[in-house]
Chains A and B, each alone.
Chain A
């Protein structure tokens, strides 16, 4: 009986810790609402802005969860987003065709992702190093295209009227919801997700049971590529221009978002598809709250410090469930 009580208590604690990222999101949401209202600002506008800021990160990071689940991580996703958007804009400007532009964006995004995956799996190169190289190459080529074609304006663009009808909450919510539900289904209700979690948790055992590492790595990168394509398209919907710095911060923010959402960086069975969504919006909310509270130039540094401390605190608490005796690596 006593053992059962201990077990119950342990499970309850685990459940509470698992819910912490959601609680953090709820708390940050409430704090933002209170802060904005207390300052007399327009809450409806603020929430729309934050949604716009978070949606690209959430979409790209949700796709990236598949890679992180395998215990790998991809630092080139920001550069892929830039590269896809760049070629998309170039395609539209050459053909005047929106469907072709969308096709190119997705084709390039998935192609870049597949290239990383093939390099890593066929040539046995560490995934992270492959993605570092991809990041350099993609951002360099995109910058070259943008600056050569941008001329005195400094960037390339499509007509804003072309994507203006899509720059509304309904469309973006639909895109986010559909993509997220597909990912949720694949991740939690198909053998793909289950096997990826197995591979991330114990690759040796997984391979011994006959799971093909390369196949599931390629699927993970394809899912991430689709996320990148959607992210690139949503970026163009919000601002119909691309400069060499577009989506520059996404690469690192994805890691922060996924971890902030309660997923272990080592991947495996504790991976959660909702981590990217929850973590992405939490991080954006946190940064906006800090910018509202801390003002002035010096405040940028201070708000980054506070944001980092909060990030570490949340990750520390969410990681309480899987703490080991040895130092984690």
Chain B
């Protein structure tokens, strides 16, 4: 594929989305990103969507459905906020410490989830149901069902949320790390082999269990980062989610995952997730600009319809091309 085609293919969807949404906003006298603060939160949301999508796609791409992503993000944030507050009492460096702890604790939670899966050898979707309930239960027990606020409200967190380049830096680092790990290491090659042909890969000597465990650790660490970014965005953690109340976060990542996968045909699927996250973030900012016209219910419906329409296109591409292409005489 020519480089120009790669570039066009990669940028086409975000550029088209940006153009359509900007025209829509301009035509109605609105602005998608009103000011610097809005841009800070735009970047933060882009990071959240990109990393959640990556975490979802790592295991889902291998046929491992994971309902526990949201519960991991919440529990990692709760534990790290408590520890960082105990150590620094909200002082200088609290945000950095909390981010580091979130990554470590998230990784450990992912490891526990993965260990349960490889030990019990029951389908991952079922393991994830159990793990979700367990992690939600721990979060509730640790917080007493309350919002965590004091531990996450400090100048350090405010400074993080108030500067877009911190989020941008996280996007770059995570993207570079994931691209390197999955596209340029032995682990990544094994992952792809297992993804495309589990039985053949195992028969050729690829060790499936360590590979799966690492996938869970990476997912956990990524969701730890998402948990931290969510805290930076909302300055509280809801510890009161029980009975699968935390699984909603997973559903928001479906649309960017499919869009990212499509863009990935022209370049790299991880880069595709970033482009898709940008699209979602622009859509989100547009919804915010039109919040008086488009209710939360209407936003849910629009997102769902976009998902279905995109999937109809994706899964019937060949047929559509056949119908739309000029017939030969």
The residues of A with any CB-CB pair to B shorter than 8 Å are 119, 123-126, 129-130, 132-137, 139-141, 143-144, 249, 252, 255-256, 259, 264-266, 297-298, 300-305, 307-309, 311-312, 315-316, 319, 323-329
Contact = CB atoms under 8 A, between A and B. Distances in A.
A192 to B, nearest CB: 25
Interface string B247-266: 10001001000100000000
B120 A140 contact: no
Interface string B314-329: 0110000000000000
A252 B121 contact: no
Given A133-B304, A141-B301, A252-B243, A125 B144 contact: no
Contacts, number: 148
B80 interface: no
A249 B315 contact: no
Contacts of B242: 300-301, 304
A266 to B, nearest CB: 7
Closest 8 CB pairs of A and B: A301-B140, A308-B133, A329-B63, A301-B141, A305-B137, A304-B137, A140-B297, A136-B304
Contacts of B305: 133, 137
Given A125-B312, A129-B254, A297 B133 contact: no
A35 B129 CA distance: 27
Interface in B251-287: 251, 254, 258
Given A256-B129, A301-B137, A304-B243, 12 more contacts: A123-B312, A123-B316, A124-B316, A136-B300, A139-B300, A143-B297, A297-B144, A303-B137, A305-B133, A312-B116, A319-B121, A329-B124
Contacts of A141: 297, 301
A136 B301 contact: yes
Contacts of A259: 126, 129
B243 A124 contact: no
B307 A129 contact: yes
Contacts of B244: 249, 252
Contacts of B130: 308-309, 311-312, 315
Contacts of A252: 129, 243-244, 247
Contact of B133 (A126, A311, A329): A311
Chain A at the B interface: mostly helix, strand, loop or mixed?
A: helix
Interface in B294-309: 295-298, 300-301, 303-305, 307-308
Contact of B117 (A144, A308, A327): A327
B74 to A, nearest CB: 12
B193 interface: no
A323 B122 CA distance: 8
20 contacts: A135-B251, A136-B303, A136-B304, A137-B300, A252-B244, A252-B247, A297-B145, A300-B140, A303-B137, A304-B134, A305-B137, A308-B133, A308-B137, A309-B134, A327-B121, A327-B208, A328-B123, A329-B62, A329-B63, A329-B198
